[in-house]
């Protein structure tokens, strides 16, 4: 039972990441591979504030969200003036810069040694001490993230993002400041991703840079692509599928290096199959590559 609860928490954390990426990749059509960077910013901010200054969980998570949103402006304002592959390269560069800072700024992040002793989250006198508590807490954050992205996507703001995805020049012709919409969407997405990092840090109670690599960003992007762009349920289904897939491989006897290698092969085959057979994903409305 504890194993099932653990998987539910992990699925919830990745569901937050994939739903937050859905806002920019699914709704606005902006492919980003920097999501693990914002995930790491939230985790390290919350962890450092709690360990070094005894800051409670919620203020720490909000601080991480604010910092991630501000950091997103540093990459989005200059790079969103470019499109397609060049924007992907810009987010890749940002991801590598953040990973380098986490790995080498030893005085603050402790580098490869990581940060240990992160306390369990306490909210208004309630402390999440068991796996069941974390399932409840993570579910609340998943619901909040889903509600925020759903609200943004269905509003007039979201309709402009859809217009940008389909034809940015036409949206500009209608008098829309497309750069402002893309920058704010990127900031919202980064802030939500950072909350997943805060949850992860307080759940595992130990973090190091290896949890926030480019492979994590690619995994989250794969969840959005496999689940389906333009549909929030698609992002959730993608998270469930790609979290449970390696567990299924472990159950049928693959372990260690064999499992890791086979997992990467299956991810690749699955992505290629989805793109060829159903470019819009399992339940998505948009296919990638239409920009």
CB atoms within 10 A of CB 263: 17
Of the CA atoms within 13 Å of residue 234, those in its CB half-sphere come to 27
What residues contact 232, with CB distance under 8 A and at least 6 apart? 19, 22, 146, 149, 150, 153
Phi, psi of 129 (to 5 degrees): -110, -25
**pLDDT (0 to 100) of residue 257:** 57
Residues 10 and 22: their CA atoms lie apart, in Å, by: 18
Cβ 281 vs Cβ 227: under 8 Å = yes
Concatenated DSSP letters of 77-99: HHHTTS-THHHHHHHHHHHHHHH
**pLDDT (0 to 100) of residue 282:** 78
Residues 205 and 25: their CA atoms lie apart, in Å, by: 30
**pLDDT (0 to 100) of residue 263:** 65
Residues in the chain where the model's pLDDT stays below 50: 289-291
Cβ 210 vs Cβ 126: under 8 Å = no
Task: Give the largest CA-CA distance in the chain.
Answer: 58
Q: Which residue has the tokens 């402002």?
A: 180
188-215 pLDDT, tens digit per residue, is 999 999 999 999 999 999 999 999 999 9
Of the candidates 67, 1, 12, the one whose C-alpha atom is nearest the C-alpha of residue 200 is 12
Residues 162 and 150: their CA atoms lie apart, in Å, by: 13
Of the candidates 75, 83, 82, the one whose C-alpha atom is nearest the C-alpha of residue 34 is 75
**pLDDT (0 to 100) of residue 290:** 44
**pLDDT (0 to 100) of residue 236:** 92
**pLDDT (0 to 100) of residue 58:** 97
Residue 115, sorted as left (phi over 0), alpha (psi -120 to 50) or beta, turns out to be beta
Residues 29 and 222: their CA atoms lie apart, in Å, by: 14
Structure tokens at 260: 């890791």
Cβ 23 vs Cβ 189: under 8 Å = yes
Counted residue by residue, the chain has a size of: 291
CB atoms within 10 A of CB 72: 29
Per the DSSP assignment, residues forming a β-bridge with 229 are 286
What residues contact 66, with CB distance under 8 A and at least 6 apart? 191
């Amino acid at each position: 039972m504890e194993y099932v609860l653990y998987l539910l928490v992990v699925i919830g954390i990745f569901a937050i990441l994939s739903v937050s990426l859905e806002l920019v990749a699914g709704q606005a059509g902006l492919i980003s591979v920097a999501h693990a960077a914002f995930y790491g910013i939230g985790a390290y901010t919350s962890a450092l504030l709690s360990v070094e200054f005894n800051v409670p969980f919620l203020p720490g998570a909000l601080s991480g969200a604010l910092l991630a949103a501000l950091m997103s402006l540093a990459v989005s304002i200059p790079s969103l003036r470019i499109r397609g592959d060049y924007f992907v390269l810009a987010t890749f560069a940002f991801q590598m810069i953040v990973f380098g800072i986490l790995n080498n700024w030893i005085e603050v992040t402790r580098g490869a040694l990581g940060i240990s002793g992160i306390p369990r989250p306490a909210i208004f006198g309630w402390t999440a001490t068991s796996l069941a508590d974390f399932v409840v807490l993570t579910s609340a954050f998943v619901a909040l993230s889903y509600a925020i992205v759903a609200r943004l996507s269905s509003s007039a703001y979201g309709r402009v993002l859809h217009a940008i995805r389909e034809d940015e020049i036409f949206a500009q012709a209608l008098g829309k400041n497309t750069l402002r919409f893309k920058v704010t969407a990127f900031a919202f997405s980064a802030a939500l991703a950072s909350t997943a990092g805060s949850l992860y840090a307080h759940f595992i109670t130990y973090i190091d840079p290896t949890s926030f690599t480019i492979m994590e960003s690619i995994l989250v992007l794969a969840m959005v692509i496999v689940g389906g762009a333009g549909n929030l349920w698609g992002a959730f289904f993608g998270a469930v599928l790609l979290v449970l897939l390696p567990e299924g491989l472990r159950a049928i006897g693959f372990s260690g290096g064999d499992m890791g290698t086979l997992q990467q092969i299956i991810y690749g085959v699955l992505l290629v199959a989805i793109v060829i057979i159903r470019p819009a994903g399992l339940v998505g409305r948009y296919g990638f590559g239409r920009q």
